[in-house]
Structure 1
Amino acid sequence: MKQLPWMTLGALTLAFAAIAPASAQEKSVAVTAIVEHPALDAVRDGAKDALKAAGFEEGKNLKWQYQSAQGNTGTAAQIARKFIGDKPDVIIAIATPSAQAVVAATKNVPVVFSAVTDPVAAKLVPSWDASGTNVTGVSDLLAMDKQVELIKKVVPDAKRLGIVYNPGEANSVVVVKELKELLPKMGMTLVEASAPRSVDVGSAGRSLVGKVDAIYNSTDNNVVSAYESLVKVAQEAKIPLIAADSDSVKRGAIASLGVNYRDLGEQTGRMVARILKGEKPGDIKPEVSTKLELFVNPGAAEKQGVKLSDEFIKSATTIVK
């Protein structure tokens, strides 16, 4: 048999590579988050694990890159532009500000948002139906009536509810709007404290002392990234602190009825895997996590001057000690 010239063999190798199955070729996923804190980190790690379970593993057939904007929306926009220039197969955008930055910068690269409370209000998608665009994702939207019921279980006589939030974050604005509409129907009022930056969280919390019977924190990224400063206020002033996410309970809130952000990340990863396998993001309806878990921290309750019933503690999915 006549031996083929080296160049002919090289050409054949390239030809076979070109027609290799897509699953055998490396895929690229770029992940951006507005800030690093336990809940958003859990989303990132959960997504990566779900991709591995679906057959996409870093170092084998997946290029994975991650960048945090460290709470800066300008940096989020820079990361978005950088990632779009890299032309990954999918961009995962964690939290509303990062998702808004990415969606504003591309109409072509597939985008999967995660940990976004209201993607419609944030103008990421036109509705909760399949968008027909390059965007889909997973929301951490919570029913506010269930949140107020939880607050009432922790502080039955609460009339004035405080909230610390960043008025520049769409997630938080949606929550405040809903609470303003809901609380009067339940004989309560909302007292707002603005924290445009993470460094403002402690002073915003102190501004509520003497004005509120309890403080509720949503998944506001400024607040959660500086959560210990709010916990300190709650302990010193003996104001019960109730959270929207379980990681905040581990850090000093009394209770939360919220999304498991690790599960949310895995749900996000499964959606990304569908796109890597050929589905179009515009054909996939945005999803909401429906798995809620009750976390209770009896030690935090004691430090904040609250006595929890044994029945309430035993009803928890997880008791933080």
Structure 2
Amino acid sequence: MIKKAGGAEQYNANKKYTAAVAVAAEACAEDTKGQTCYICTQALHWKTKEGLVRGCSCRGTAGVAHVSCLTEEAKILVAEGEENNLGQKVLTERWARWFSCSMCKQEYHGVVRCALGWACWRTYVARPEVETARQLAIGVLGNSLSEAGHREEALTVVEAELSMNRRVGASEREMLATQSNLASSYGELGRLEEALEMYRDVYFRTLKLLGEEHKDTLLEANNYAHCLLSLRRFDQARPLLLKTLAVAQRALDNGYETTLRLSWHYARALYENTSATLDELREGVTTLEETTQTARRVLGGAHPLTESIELSLRDSRAALAAREAPARLGGLAL
């Protein structure tokens, strides 16, 4: 069976893909009930008999599809770009179909992202390591596993990616991206000091390589600050976030996900700090109220980032109310 599939890696990828598609379809069954795939227009896939999924920010009946249909669409678009030498810009845009919706342009999340990650990997795993498609595919898989909460598996994939990058002589920018993903895996597994050291190194090297306004630099600043928050080093995280948020608001659209994350983390640096003043707590609540509105408008209420920001808003309001109560009582006593 393994030989017929094309080898151990291909066989494993095929099995993982099939299992991930089943999990995704089951998880999305209630949300997609009574709907049809926007690509093939069928409710049940004609060949695989799989159900429908939706893991983006589309609303209503939009964005509903089969993982198989999304996979085939991405494969065809990338293949056309490769065969016709359409250029790096076009190929990059087409490659994004492996992890983002063609309609709302937002990245897939959760179990749908995981299924597409395995779909991408099984498509290109048989190619030589020196080919760009295979190098990109393992990165998509690692990010997808992390997004779906498969932390140990994600770490294994990212370590394999980093090893491959060293063998093929990847560019510094590619190495930085992989090291950032490795730091993320460390953080998710509670290895925070290791994660912090790597995030710090990646951020400053990216800043030197690409400049402060580049989207990758802003993303790495956010990652570095997030790790500082996890270690409760608020005095270090706050100035970094304040500076980076100002750059992001100037260089990126306010609806861009990195900007939302920076705003969210800046508010966390305020309200999670037990030494924060009353005014800082109020600023944190106000920032989260504004960020929540933007996240709901841009990403939708069901997006994991929106849900996380809303949870922080509830926590910040509770922290502010607890701090204000003694002040009000003291005022009455006077």
Shorter-normalised TM-score: what interval?
Answer: under 0.3
- Structure having the larger proportion of residues in helix: 2
- Structure having the larger proportion of residues in strand: 1
Higher relative contact order (CA 8 A, sep 6+): 1
* TM-score (normalised: structure 2): 0.26
* TM-score (normalised: structure 1): 0.26
